[in-house]
A and B are shown apart, each in its own frame.
Chain A
């Protein structure tokens, strides 16, 4: 019966979200039509009954990082406060697929992180112990077991960095990133949220310590609450109000190969080679790597990156010599020094909210971050889950332990 009604339903083609008239005032305005902004709008309307919400997007929804990432989702972070957040985020894909009635194509294939040194074995043991202690499934594997999980990995000592350990995380996987954007837009719009594409924010209006609105390419829009959730561009938007964020915008690139029949059934990534790869449902190997080291706002792909990626992939899985790269693109990542985000409320001005600094992790955190940011914006109270992600930690030298090493970008700091 369910199938039959679904069958009838899918032949009717409707707009997923209707264009809305631009009002001069909304209760809440969110800058950024990516996963974070749309999820926040969706949860504001769904969980808190706040429907007078506008999402402003300067291009089209999903133009930024939301549509440019490699769509990997996982919860095998390093520290407890991060594991907790991403674990809840990981569980949301299924829930959202149902709620939004939109197939987000969550492919629960599991991920395998490869380590290439004695130190990485210890780091993996620490991660696995932390995860399992917190109820998140992870396994520490030896090289032989890695090759059993992913046939074709070169576990010999031929590569310049031989594989020494694996951190296998079955709950992880990939999600169709565009579907998340469209599904959230559909769900938010159905609950009354206005989505305005091609609306470029140029200024922020304040009065007596409160945020009162934004200036945009489509005119001024008043609001009581403003959320800055613009990914790599958040720093520049916060700078309008003189807020200096410890975030570096950096270019990060990704690419896909020609499509192939399924042969890679898991996400794999490598610490030493700085590479991650998975096979999409369409059969392409989608792969990315580290961020470009220079601070910049461009989304230019580079020849060097393509070559680096090939060099790394063929060492890890020699069979990949037989495939070809089809497309490379780049996006912006907003990187904090400790690789953990900044989620703030009433930041200098009443009603000003910020959700930024996600770096590599912006996609997989989108829905769960939106859920808690919505709670924060609706109640004005910082949810317990977000306490670890305050801006003041940088002033107090209390870095999150998400990365063991200290990140260095641009100038020394």
Chain B
């Protein structure tokens, strides 16, 4: 042990439970001032040791706030650490070089310039902003901006990238049993569950195991309590099938026992923070207790803190929590803390215990008496004195009577202990107020969830451990993963442990039901919620305005909506509200607990950011040609091959020479079996008997509303055997679509998705055949291989390709479907063969324009929810005579066929050389006269789906969905686009039937 004379300032001699290493100092700065902490410190413990008492200013009143908890229960100690806002100083491990700053402060936190607001609380009753600032309304924006500036705590720079130096990782764990909480109960549960050979994951938010036993030095059964915790921890760590995760807060337990959380990396971990998800069979909840905050006048003064905080400061961080302390508490563990702090040299001047005399542990009362510490039973703190920090306090009897004052710089206050119910609430355990422990306890637990430890009201270490063992065994039995024999073993262990638990071990101890300290008010604030400055008076005010149940008061007054959430506020608000309503406290329901139970950063949740997407087999080739890639659904596709996004050269090369397109994402399927044709007849609108070997049948699929959902080609491959293509976006849902629409028929067919198995390369342009002839010896002449034909050909050194002769882009075009692994070879062959003919790749945008010139529809571009197949001019595909196949969409098509007032797809030619018209302009009626004096109908009559200026045609064409009244061939549309208000651009266009390019179709048949 270090010599007391050489102890750093503010520190105690390190005891056996100390986690701080005085041999490893860490330099950091607070508000630019250099400070020193030690390895093992949190930012808060280092600051406190350095004498910092005011950590921040409160949200509304700008009151000074100090260290209250050690587990991040409130935003009192939220600070900007290395520029990252709202970092919790209590739970953030100190690192060398950290730069720490206070939040919500103008100037120094001790002398904040907005501190005067505290005096105007009378003008700010609960919900005041709803009743103020709106008259006259024109002033509201001023007030609103003022409110915005006052609200919020941390400062985020939107232009900064908060990578927070370091790797974010992600882990997916599996365990039969997950244990939440690494205290004595949790460790006992993990050991018991592990006895059955099951995989157990144990999650503990603090950096060490042991819970409150980890810092308690009191003798129990002949050894200090922390030895007991240490022994358990050693056993847990030595058990192979228990995986221990410390510094790993659980953010929630979700449906089907999915436990999530994150692990804060230690110095030698390869990550800074790691998000994990653990799919567990069963869950043991042993999350322990925390101090229930005591509501009394000025209970937020720096120097007022939880018993656990003062105790841990002293025992785990060797920080002197204060020179002279007063306790106002309500449970035995806090009395033990008083004794212990006194032994560590803190002068404990008095202990008020809200419980009546005789309910305390006599041994502790005797210990206090031995140290001449007065114990006032049935008393509680009524006031903390001192403006910026506690200088004295006033205690009063709860039943009325005179007060006593004590000078002190530390006021340890609680209303006893409350269980940490977060996990239980998120698993939807039914919680009810227990009038004995005065806490919320599970009335019913969901299947596969077990609870153990001090949260059930147990305090005796043996009981806590026994409850853990019992829960662990039960979890193992209940676990689906448990083998039958181990389940039997575990079941007998349950009986054994249940027997021993009943064997004279102490049960839950009675709790403390104090609602608030005596003599509230008198010009002082008593906080129910620290984060949002919600006082007892505000609760009364909320109730007076009709918000008299916790859930409404929470929303109206903001109780429990701040970073501490329900933890500080929940139980007190429910109890106080029940009193205000005059209801028995048993009826008090706390507000809903919402995950995440501990706030995870977005950086950690987002993790390493895996981008799962697909690339075609030709990605490298396309990149080599300078492709600009875009995500299209799950695929990454080449959209352009130059920075000219009009793709003029790509388009012209297809029209004049020959282009090559990687069309691999195209959906590709084989369907075979006796009922394959029936299935095709069901989902396609055409008569699919026309899909014969060697012949492509073009058709479309509709949904029940007659809307176009897919189109493609179907080719006969043999008896009851077909090959077909779908649009890229539909490839993933096609099998399900077939199965769904034939689910009642019991048909016998097999459907295989070949999309990723086969790649496809499209060669299109007047020179396409010449290119193909150079790579195959098969006859690809127009006679042998006509338009819409399909042939199996051999290319290059014997690669078999299914070759489809298509016309989507309006030119002579061959599409080669080959196994993905041969794609690069075939591409290289074609590019080499096409070199003499000017072959160049073209991308999706060029394809989009080429097909639009041809009037071919793309789903989603020229179709939408308001139009059916017939509305977009594709009704010719529909075999209306077929009444036996029950074609999907046929009833809707029939019903809508002659329905008046529908929108229709039309082609148009822009009248002038108006270069500005683009996709999305709206049709506002018929143009009665020229552009000079336009007159629309005053209503939106439709919109332009696609429009381009064509270098081949020499004019601007387009397709629009318009109401049928204006869909008249030869009629003129008044089109308007107004990208900015008051800047309309208009033009007129004449309705002309597509296709605009090669209307006779001679090119694609050549």
**Chain A residues in the interface with B (C-beta under 8 A):** 2-3, 6-7, 9-11, 13-18, 60, 62, 67, 79-80, 94, 97-98, 101-108, 116-119, 121-130, 132-134, 137-140, 150-152, 160-161, 176, 178-179, 182-183, 257-264, 272, 281-284, 300-303, 306-307, 309-311, 313-315, 317-329, 337-338, 396-406, 411-413
Chain B 464-491 near chain A by CB (<8 Å), digits 1 or 0 = 0000000000000000000000000000
Residue numbers in A under 8 Å from B163 (CB-CB): 318, 321
On whether the beta carbons of A314 and B255 are closer than 8 Å, the reply is: no
On whether the beta carbons of A323 and B602 are closer than 8 Å, the reply is: yes
Known A128-B920, A396-B896, A398-B902; further 12 A-B contacts with Cβ < 8 A:
A10-B128, A60-B552, A125-B919, A138-B981, A139-B981, A282-B561, A307-B605, A310-B606, A327-B594, A328-B595, A399-B705, A401-B865
| Residue from the list A10, A123, A151, A307 in contact with B132, Cβ < 8 A | A10
- Name which residue of chain A comes closest to B531, CB basis: A259
Residue numbers in A under 8 Å from B845 (CB-CB): 118
On whether the beta carbons of A97 and B255 are closer than 8 Å, the reply is: no
B847 to chain A, nearest CB (A): 12
- Name which residue of chain B comes closest to A106, CB basis: B140
A254 to chain B, nearest CB (A): 11
Jot down 28 A-B pairs with beta carbons below 8 A, ordered by A.
A10-B132, A13-B544, A13-B545, A16-B545, A18-B546, A97-B134, A103-B134, A106-B140, A118-B630, A124-B920, A125-B918, A128-B980, A133-B924, A152-B158, A152-B159, A258-B86, A261-B149, A261-B153, A301-B595, A302-B254, A302-B255, A303-B254, A310-B602, A319-B162, A325-B605, A400-B865, A405-B860, A406-B709
Q: What is the bound-complex CA distance between A130 and B594, given in angstroms?
A: 41
Residue numbers in B under 8 Å from A282 (CB-CB): 151-152, 558, 561
B404 to chain A, nearest CB (A): 35
Residue numbers in B under 8 Å from A281 (CB-CB): 144, 147-148, 151
On whether the beta carbons of A151 and B159 are closer than 8 Å, the reply is: yes
Which 8 pairs across A and B sit closest by C-beta, in order of nearness? A283-B152, A152-B158, A322-B162, A125-B920, A122-B919, A310-B605, A126-B920, A321-B603
Stretch at the interface among B18-26, B663-671, B971-979: B971-979
Residue numbers in B under 8 Å from A399 (CB-CB): 705, 865-866
Residue numbers in B under 8 Å from A103 (CB-CB): 129-134, 140
A317 to chain B, nearest CB (A): 7
Residue numbers in A under 8 Å from B521 (CB-CB): none
| Residue from the list A124, A137, A260 in contact with B152, Cβ < 8 A | A260
Q: What is the bound-complex CA distance between A116 and B631, given in angstroms?
A: 9
On whether the beta carbons of A325 and B596 are closer than 8 Å, the reply is: yes
On whether the beta carbons of A178 and B152 are closer than 8 Å, the reply is: no
On whether the beta carbons of B596 and A306 are closer than 8 Å, the reply is: yes
B704 within 8 A of A: yes
On whether the beta carbons of A319 and B153 are closer than 8 Å, the reply is: no
Chain B 849-875 near chain A by CB (<8 Å), digits 1 or 0 = 000000000001100111010000000
On whether the beta carbons of A322 and B605 are closer than 8 Å, the reply is: no
B649 within 8 A of A: no
**Chain B residues in the interface with A (C-beta under 8 A):** 59, 75, 78, 83-86, 122-123, 125, 128-137, 140-141, 144, 147-149, 151-164, 251-252, 254-255, 258, 260, 275, 277, 541, 544-546, 549, 551-552, 555-556, 558, 561-563, 565, 592, 594-596, 599-607, 609, 611, 613, 630-632, 639, 703-707, 709, 736-737, 740-741, 845, 860-861, 864-866, 868, 892, 895-896, 899, 901-902, 918-922, 924, 939-940, 943-946, 976-982, 984
> With A13-B541, A412-B740 in contact, do A132 and B152 touch (Cβ < 8 Å)?
no
On whether the beta carbons of B549 and A60 are closer than 8 Å, the reply is: yes
On whether the beta carbons of B602 and A260 are closer than 8 Å, the reply is: no
On whether the beta carbons of A97 and B137 are closer than 8 Å, the reply is: yes
Residue numbers in B under 8 Å from A338 (CB-CB): 865
B860 to chain A, nearest CB (A): 7
- Name which residue of chain A comes closest to B709, CB basis: A406
Residue numbers in B under 8 Å from A261 (CB-CB): 149, 151-156
Residue numbers in A under 8 Å from B896 (CB-CB): 396-397
On whether the beta carbons of B599 and A404 are closer than 8 Å, the reply is: no
On whether the beta carbons of B707 and A406 are closer than 8 Å, the reply is: yes
On whether the beta carbons of B130 and A179 are closer than 8 Å, the reply is: yes
Residue numbers in A under 8 Å from B740 (CB-CB): 411-412
| Residue from the list B128, B148, B592 in contact with A283, Cβ < 8 A | B148
Q: What is the bound-complex CA distance between A411 and B733, given in angstroms?
A: 12
On whether the beta carbons of A321 and B164 are closer than 8 Å, the reply is: yes
On whether the beta carbons of B141 and A108 are closer than 8 Å, the reply is: yes
Q: What is the bound-complex CA distance between A383 and B59, given in angstroms?
A: 48
- Name which residue of chain A comes closest to B154, CB basis: A260
| Residue from the list B154, B161, B892, B922 in contact with A126, Cβ < 8 A | B922
Q: What is the bound-complex CA distance between A281 and B532, given in angstroms?
A: 13
On whether the beta carbons of A412 and B546 are closer than 8 Å, the reply is: no
- Name which residue of chain B comes closest to A136, CB basis: B981
On whether the beta carbons of A322 and B922 are closer than 8 Å, the reply is: no
B981 to chain A, nearest CB (A): 5
Residue numbers in B under 8 Å from A259 (CB-CB): 59, 86, 151-154, 562-563
> With A13-B544, A263-B156, A338-B865 in contact, do A126 and B860 touch (Cβ < 8 Å)?
no
- Name which residue of chain A comes closest to B899, CB basis: A396
A287 to chain B, nearest CB (A): 10
Q: What is the bound-complex CA distance between A130 and B976, given in angstroms?
A: 9
| Residue from the list A101, A323, A326 in contact with B85, Cβ < 8 A | A323
On whether the beta carbons of A125 and B137 are closer than 8 Å, the reply is: no
B82 to chain A, nearest CB (A): 10
Residue numbers in B under 8 Å from A62 (CB-CB): 555
| Residue from the list B141, B161, B555, B919 in contact with A121, Cβ < 8 A | B919
Residue numbers in A under 8 Å from B861 (CB-CB): 119
Residue numbers in A under 8 Å from B131 (CB-CB): 6, 9-10, 101-103
Residue numbers in B under 8 Å from A124 (CB-CB): 920
- Name which residue of chain B comes closest to A138, CB basis: B981
Q: What is the bound-complex CA distance between A122 and B959, given in angstroms?
A: 13
Q: What is the bound-complex CA distance between A281 and B143, given in angstroms?
A: 11
A4 to chain B, nearest CB (A): 11
Q: What is the bound-complex CA distance between A7 and B132, given in angstroms?
A: 8
> With A133-B976, A326-B565 in contact, do A178 and B555 touch (Cβ < 8 Å)?
yes
- Name which residue of chain A comes closest to B78, CB basis: A258
On whether the beta carbons of B977 and A129 are closer than 8 Å, the reply is: yes
Q: What is the bound-complex CA distance between A135 and B544, given in angstroms?
A: 44
On whether the beta carbons of A129 and B86 are closer than 8 Å, the reply is: no
On whether the beta carbons of A405 and B630 are closer than 8 Å, the reply is: no
| Residue from the list A132, A284, A315, A325 in contact with B978, Cβ < 8 A | A132
Residue numbers in A under 8 Å from B130 (CB-CB): 102-103, 105, 176, 179, 182-183
Residue numbers in A under 8 Å from B981 (CB-CB): 132, 137-139
On whether the beta carbons of A314 and B594 are closer than 8 Å, the reply is: no
> With A314-B602, A412-B737 in contact, do A107 and B144 touch (Cβ < 8 Å)?
yes
On whether the beta carbons of A178 and B631 are closer than 8 Å, the reply is: no
- Name which residue of chain B comes closest to A132, CB basis: B978
On whether the beta carbons of A303 and B277 are closer than 8 Å, the reply is: yes
> With A139-B980, A323-B601, A399-B866 in contact, do A130 and B922 touch (Cβ < 8 Å)?
yes
On whether the beta carbons of B705 and A323 are closer than 8 Å, the reply is: no
Q: What is the bound-complex CA distance between A301 and B426, given in angstroms?
A: 9
Q: What is the bound-complex CA distance between A160 and B147, given in angstroms?
A: 37
B188 to chain A, nearest CB (A): 28
On whether the beta carbons of B705 and A324 are closer than 8 Å, the reply is: no
On whether the beta carbons of B631 and A160 are closer than 8 Å, the reply is: yes
> With A2-B136, A103-B140, A303-B252 in contact, do A15 and B866 touch (Cβ < 8 Å)?
no
| Residue from the list B156, B277, B919 in contact with A319, Cβ < 8 A | B156
On whether the beta carbons of A128 and B978 are closer than 8 Å, the reply is: yes
- Name which residue of chain A comes closest to B604, CB basis: A310
B491 to chain A, nearest CB (A): 32
| Residue from the list B147, B158, B164 in contact with A264, Cβ < 8 A | B158
On whether the beta carbons of A326 and B920 are closer than 8 Å, the reply is: no
- Name which residue of chain B comes closest to A413, CB basis: B704
On whether the beta carbons of B149 and A262 are closer than 8 Å, the reply is: yes
On whether the beta carbons of B940 and A80 are closer than 8 Å, the reply is: yes
| Residue from the list B134, B599, B709 in contact with A326, Cβ < 8 A | B599
On whether the beta carbons of B600 and A325 are closer than 8 Å, the reply is: yes
